Structure 1
Amino acid sequence: MGIRKLAAVGIAAALVATTATAASAAPDQRVDPAVLQAGLDRMARDGAQGVQLRVVDGDRTLLLRSGTARAGSPRPVPLNGRFRVGSVTKTFVATVVLQLVAEGRVSLDAPVSNHLPGLVDDRITVRMLLQHTSGLYDYTRALPLDGETFLKERFTRHDPRDLVAMSTSRPLDFTPGERHEYSNTNYIVAGLLIKQVTGKSWERSVNDRILRPLGLHATATGGLVPQGPHARGYLQINGKLVDVTALNSSMAWAAGSMISTTADLDRFYAALLDGDLLPPAQLAEMKKTVDGYGLGIYEFPMPCGITAWGHGGGIPGYITLSINADDTRLEMSMTTGALDEDGVDGLDDTLIAAFCP
């Protein structure tokens, strides 16, 4: 869910731009844990309260961390900690929709109104939702997501149709299909589409179709707080660090409410990109990009010739990043602390160290 500047779309754009200037490396070089650790330490010094990182480097798995799990405490970030994944949720939701396409129950290029009459403009197709080319106004721009107002409203329960109404009460940002522009509203509609087609909520569908088959036992489709070990999430409000770990995730719903771990996200993306969750035709559709965005997934071209896939996510208190290539997979969670929203020192070097050492 794109709540902060360092949310999903912002992270993806920044990473592609920054890594493109790095020096190439020989493909047989392996990841250096010390370089990764140095990058994490710089993130913590730059204002992240804590960072946990999982890098799969061929047949080797590296687990690293920096910072602390709670402000004012020396307790380290748990290596198996749970966290809010924000817009990484969108890849799960897109996967379910594409499974329905494979089953012949949904057509990518048919109007959404075939299933949800009157909800959105009749020109908007299912593909446009998943690829953010619908032109729908992003409802999060109308939510109180910063400062004291957010603290007062963060436990409010939001009905998904009300979130869509926040969008459709305003004009489209552009003609459907004209261009790519990230909007969380698209995935609220996608969640409603799943319910309409299957008779089950998107949460139940994700659980039945992805979480249970893959054994992702530490992943949940929402919750007031992450259960089990976790680092606390913070926002800086009026110069003070405020704990915002607890919130009503209905504000993000199918656009960004999920909770997971680096191990579960690694298993999910590995299964997805290996073709275990989608037939070849639908996986190929997922990877057809507009401005670097496919159907619920970003393309990350790396300077050493690697093409990686994944998603980023931001929700108050947490920033998540998952980038996955053939021989290297990186899953990261950062608690925001007193982070400067204009950048995260050390992030670029960490990514280059992982994918182009």
Structure 2
Amino acid sequence: MGIPMKAAFAVATLLVATTGGTALADTTAGVDRKVVQQGLDEVVQAGVLGVQLRVTHGWEHFTARSGTAELGSNRPVPLNGRFRAGSITKTFVSTVVLQLVGEGEVDLDAPVVRYLPGLIDQRITVRHLLQHTSGLYDHNNALPFDPAGFEQIRYRHWEPEELVAISTSRPLEFQPGTKWEYSNTNYVVAGLLIEKITGRPLERVVEHRVLKPLRLNDTVLPRDDDRIHGPHAHGYWAIDGKPVDITRFNPSVFWAEGNIVSTTKDLDTFFAALAGGRLPGPAQQRELTRATAVSPGYGLGLSIQVLPCGTTAWGHDGGVPGFASLVLTTPDTKKRAVLSATTSARVGDPSPGLQKILGEIFC
């Protein structure tokens, strides 16, 4: 999701400037856990309340954390904690659309209005939605995501059509297919497409096609439930200089663009399966990871980057009020990282700590 809480973590998606290679003490499959822990501690020192991380190298993995789960408490961030993963939802939605493409239910290059007549500009294709090349105005830019403004709408229910209508009340930002620009509206429309084709709620379709087959038992797409069930850390932001717990809110405002609640383990399992070719068919897998001249760093619901040290990484980041997250995997799935952070009322730059962490894991 494109709101301020995400910004600091979007930087880390992919500005890893370190070249890696430190002491061999306390290593897991070549990753120095002390360096990783130092990076996590630096992230917290920069103003993040708490952070949890799952690292996989080859057949080995480990978890690490820093900070606390709540303001005024010494309770550590739960290593199996649930969190709002924001725009990582988009990768799940894109996966389902590509499955429908493989089954002949959807044509990737057909206009969206073939399936959803009159909803958006007739030149916009399904591919344009998943690739963020549609030109649709991002409806989030018209909503109050500043702390004081969001307080007024945090428990309101939103219908997806309302969110799309905010976008389509504005002209297109550019001609479809001519430019890349991140727009959350693309994935609200993609969610409506899934519901129209399957005749079922998006949440149930994702559950049936992805969550149950992969046994992602701690992952849900809540439509209106404002709670995070199970162990979790809390997120905060400042209103009039005072910290306010923003953990609970109605997630319908983020729906198919960013309402998922998950864990580092479940997201690691999902991205390993996705990168490993276990979800879309082979032809759709190639489309998933195909960058173009118009969209050089983004496939279909998947970020595709070459880190400064030369390592290619696939993944996505996410941010909603109180939470920021990041998933990265090498295409061969041998190196993977899933990170979730909860915000405090302090504002700082966690990028140096994140660069240290990701550089040690991937570079």
Query: Does the residue aligned with 2:301 lie in a helix, a strand or coil?
Result: coil
Query: Does the residue aligned with 1:49 lie in a helix, a strand or coil?
Result: strand
Query: Does the residue aligned with 2:4 lie in a helix, a strand or coil?
Result: coil
Q: CA RMSD in A?
A: 1.7
Query: Does the residue aligned with 2:190 lie in a helix, a strand or coil?
Result: helix
Q: Measure, in 1, the Cα distance between the counterparts of 2:32 and 2:347.
A: 27
Change in 2 beyond 3 A, CA 1:42/1:341: closer
The residue aligned with 1:240 is 242
Q: Measure, in 2, the Cα distance between the counterparts of 1:193 and 1:15.
A: 28
Mapped pair 1:60 → 2:60:
yes
Q: Which runs of 5+ in 2 are unaligned?
A: 23-27
The CA deviation at 1:11 is 3.8
The residue aligned with 1:275 is 277
Q: Measure, in 2, the Cα distance between the counterparts of 1:13 and 1:83.
A: 20
The CA deviation at 1:343 is 4.9
Change in 2 beyond 3 A, CA 1:323/1:339: farther
Query: 1:305 pairs with 304, 307, 310, which one?
Result: 310
Mapped pair 1:249 → 2:247:
no
Q: Deviations over 1:165-216 (max 9, x none)?
A: 0000011111111110000000000000001111012111100000011100
Q: Which runs of 5+ in 1 are unaligned?
A: none
The CA deviation at 1:23 is 2.6
Residue range with higher mean Cα deviation, 234-243 or 129-138: 234-243
Change in 2 beyond 3 A, CA 1:339/1:267: farther
Residue range with higher mean Cα deviation, 257-266 or 282-291: 282-291
Q: State whether residues 15 and 348 of structure 1, in contact with CA within 8 Å, keep that contact through their aligned partners in structure 2.
A: no
The CA deviation at 1:291 is 2.9
The CA deviation at 1:342 is 5.5
Aligned pairs (5 A) from 1:340-351:
340=347, 343-351=350-358
The residue aligned with 2:13 is 15
Q: State whether residues 4 and 341 of structure 1, in contact with CA within 8 Å, keep that contact through their aligned partners in structure 2.
A: no
The CA deviation at 1:60 is 1.4
Question: AA paired with 2:342?
Answer: T
Q: State whether residues 39 and 346 of structure 1, in contact with CA within 8 Å, keep that contact through their aligned partners in structure 2.
A: yes
Aligned pairs (5 A) from 1:3-152:
3-4=3-4, 6-7=6-7, 11-12=9-10, 14-16=12-14, 18-19=15-16, 21-23=17-19, 30-152=30-152
The residue aligned with 2:265 is 263
The residue aligned with 2:362 is 355
Q: Deviations over 1:79-115 (max 9, x none)?
A: 0000000000000000000000000110111100000
Q: Measure, in 2, the Cα distance between the counterparts of 1:339 and 1:100.
A: 44
Q: Measure, in 2, the Cα distance between the counterparts of 1:229 and 1:22.
A: 34
Q: State whether residues 19 and 359 of structure 2, in contact with CA within 8 Å, keep that contact through their aligned partners in structure 1.
A: no
Aligned pairs (5 A) from 1:314-333:
314-325=319-330, 326=332, 327-333=334-340
Q: Measure, in 2, the Cα distance between the counterparts of 1:211 and 1:285.
A: 22
Q: Measure, in 2, the Cα distance between the counterparts of 1:338 and 1:152.
A: 19
Q: Measure, in 1, the Cα distance between the counterparts of 2:48 and 2:208.
A: 35
Question: AA paired with 2:302?
Answer: I
Query: Does the residue aligned with 1:214 lie in a helix, a strand or coil?
Result: coil
Q: Measure, in 1, the Cα distance between the counterparts of 2:11 and 2:112.
A: 28
Q: Measure, in 1, the Cα distance between the counterparts of 2:111 and 2:21.
A: 45
The residue aligned with 2:205 is 205
The residue aligned with 2:25 is none
The residue aligned with 1:187 is 187
Question: AA paired with 1:298?
Answer: S
Change in 2 beyond 3 A, CA 1:25/1:44: closer
Question: AA paired with 2:276?
Answer: D
Q: Measure, in 1, the Cα distance between the counterparts of 2:100 and 2:348.
A: 38
TM-score, scaled relative to structure 2:
0.93
Q: State whether residues 47 and 343 of structure 2, in contact with CA within 8 Å, keep that contact through their aligned partners in structure 1.
A: yes
Q: Measure, in 2, the Cα distance between the counterparts of 1:329 and 1:23.
A: 17
The CA deviation at 1:344 is 3.6
| Runs of 4+ with deviation above 6 angstroms | none
TM-score, scaled relative to structure 1:
0.95
Q: Measure, in 2, the Cα distance between the counterparts of 1:74 and 1:280.
A: 48
Query: Does the residue aligned with 1:2 lie in a helix, a strand or coil?
Result: coil
Q: Measure, in 1, the Cα distance between the counterparts of 2:153 and 2:322.
A: 15
- Number of residues of Structure 1 aligned to a counterpart in Structure 2: 351
